[in-house]
Structures are given as structure tokens and as C-alpha cells.
A = this chain, B = another copy of it.
């Protein structure tokens, strides 16, 4: 482990006044191997953190500063979590990583993963929660996000940080792109099934339902309590940016390009995403085969669990925890199955997975700081 005071990783959180920022603080402030030393915010800079987030009052935390006013030279930060708007992140990370000239990956190759952390000494490692480095293709990025990629030279080294699949790359990673919330809940159940050839790549329909925190903390009329409570609606139909991200990762699992339907809905709840995925069984595959495949894949994973036959996972079962629950069901339509998966979008879908990645990057037990059970009701 590369270490700060008392062998703790010194943490910087960029964009600490949003929901994912607050969630990082909640998880890291009790993390035995981490020490928050820097927090930036934009409109809330200068305000005491316990006024911005009174639920985190009484903690000994650094003040919120504007990102432009951070004097990086004078601060020793080992890991930087980025919770900034897309676009912004690319430029800031490019600046942050500018100092290091040598390829971290080369070092790791040469010295073995054990020395990875040491190899990266001197420049902070970046765990990005934005969408800026998730898409392998900068063309695809430009197409879906409406502007050219601002740091295309960094894209090749970015590790797509779905911890369960990225575990080997993380120790040597200098830049980790944490998956979107929708991609996390969709990829975890579907990738193993595609990899095993158990489901057809055509006509995969992912009907997803998300809580409102997924829309962030920005002051938008559309997210006011009275606009979204007591109702449900679909949005971004056939146009949501998480569509191509899901396709990228499912295509990797399948071994060839595929296209999926992804239809998100907004549900009047704070946290949680539920994905109902409709799939066609390949060849002679049975629904039991799907279940067995997923159980085998996740039996040793600390945060992914296939629930008992007949049990329908609910988002409230993972609220506040880093868990993903998966249920497998036969369809009435012959030759088809229904997969239901749930996560807390702010934890496994964002800040929790980011901490999980950090744990692996720095050689700590993967569950450190993430042991909390779900909060229900």
C-alpha cells in the first residue's frame, strides 16, 4: 500500500457536495484504511460540510474548496475520487495525471502486481465516478455525449471498474472508470449468461426502474418532489447514454457486437435500481441452467447473491448496502426467461463500487468499509 499518515490512503474527493460525494464521505469516514484530506465543491465551497450535509455533521473533515483553488503541489493525495459532471472530468483528470510520464501498466508488467502501488507513487490514482472514461471508443463517446473527448490519450489505460470483472486489472490501474448505475445492475446478471452462451444476443430487453437520486442533486424542476412523487414515467426511451455502455460490456462478454433495448423509468423513491431483463434461451438451455450459471459465477463474491427460487428481489433489500441481488424466473412465453436484479444506485451503482475498487487497487480486503447490511425499512 502506498501510504499517508498511519499507513492510511490519503483521499481527495472532487465534487463532494453531490449525492455520490456525500455517499463517499459516509463510507470512507469509517474506513479503517482511508483518510479524507481534500474535498472540493463548486457552489457550496466555503460552507461548512455539516451545513451542506447535516447528516454527516460531527465528523473531522477538511473544508470544501473550489477545485480551481486546490494547490495540488502542496497536498499529498494518494487517491482521487471524481464525482464531477461529464466533460469536466476529462480535463481535470488529464491535468492530474500529467505529471507521471511512465506507463504504470509497463511497471506492473515488469515488476508484478505486488509492486503496482509503489510504481504509481508520486501521482494520485484516479477513481472516476463520471461517464467520461467508460466508453472504450472516443467516437462513441462523442456521439452520445455531444462533444469531443478531451483526454483521448488517457482512454486506453482506463480500466472499466466493475469490480467483479476488473479485479485483476485494478491493482495496476492509474485510472479507473466506475460503471454507471444502470450498467452495473444490467451487466452483473447478463454478462455471465452471454459469456456462457446461455442466452441469445438478440432482442435482449432491459426494462429498468430507478430512484430519484440517480438524477443527481442539481436544482431541476423535473426532479422536484411534487413533479415525481406519486407517479412513474419512462424517460430517455431508446436514447439513454447508458445504453451504449451496457452494449459495450455485454458485447465483450458475448464475444461479438450486440444491440440491446434499454428503457429506464423514474420511480418515486430515493435509492435503488431494479432491472427486469427479458431474454431468449439459447439452444437447449433451461431456466435452471441460467440459475446454476449465475450461482456458480457469484458463489464466492461478497456482494452479489442469487436469491432463492421464487423470491423476487426488491430494491429495499439492498438500500444503503453494496449488494446486488439477482432472481431468475421462467417466462410464460416458451423459450424465454426473466432476470430481476437490484442494487442501491448510490452504493454498488456508484460510491460503494468506487470504494470496492479502491480496496482492490490498494490491496486491502475487498469488503473493507462496505460491511453494512441494508437499511430496511
Chain A interface residues toward B at CB < 8 A: 19, 22, 26, 29-30, 48, 50-51, 53-59, 202-203, 205, 207, 209, 211-213, 217-221, 223-235, 237-238, 243, 259-263, 265, 267-272, 274, 276, 278, 305, 307-308, 311-321, 323, 325, 329-334, 336, 338, 340, 342, 371-377
In the assembled complex, which residues on chain B have CB atoms less than 8 Å from the CB atom of A230? 229-230, 269-272, 316, 319, 377
How far apart are A73's CB and chain B's nearest CB, in angstroms?
32
Q: What are the nearest 5 A-B pairs in CB distance?
A: A231-B316, A233-B314, A55-B374, A226-B377, A55-B376
In the assembled complex, which residues on chain B have CB atoms less than 8 Å from the CB atom of A223? 224-226
Is A375 a contact partner of B26 (Cβ separation < 8 A)? Answer: yes
In the assembled complex, which residues on chain B have CB atoms less than 8 Å from the CB atom of A374? 26, 55-56
In the assembled complex, which residues on chain B have CB atoms less than 8 Å from the CB atom of A336? 203, 261
In the assembled complex, which residues on chain B have CB atoms less than 8 Å from the CB atom of A323? 58
In the assembled complex, which residues on chain B have CB atoms less than 8 Å from the CB atom of A313? 54, 233
Is A226 a contact partner of B217 (Cβ separation < 8 A)? Answer: yes
Number of identical monomers bound together in the oligomeric complex? 4
Is A225 a contact partner of B270 (Cβ separation < 8 A)? Answer: yes
With A and B bound together, what is the CA distance between A217 and B333 in angstroms?
A: 32
Is A338 a contact partner of B237 (Cβ separation < 8 A)? Answer: yes
In the assembled complex, which residues on chain B have CB atoms less than 8 Å from the CB atom of A233? 274, 312-316, 342
Q: Which residue of B lies closest to A210 (CB)?
A: B232
Is B224 a contact partner of A219 (Cβ separation < 8 A)? Answer: yes
Q: Which residue of B lies closest to A332 (CB)?
A: B238
With A and B bound together, what is the CA distance between A55 and B30 in angstroms?
A: 22
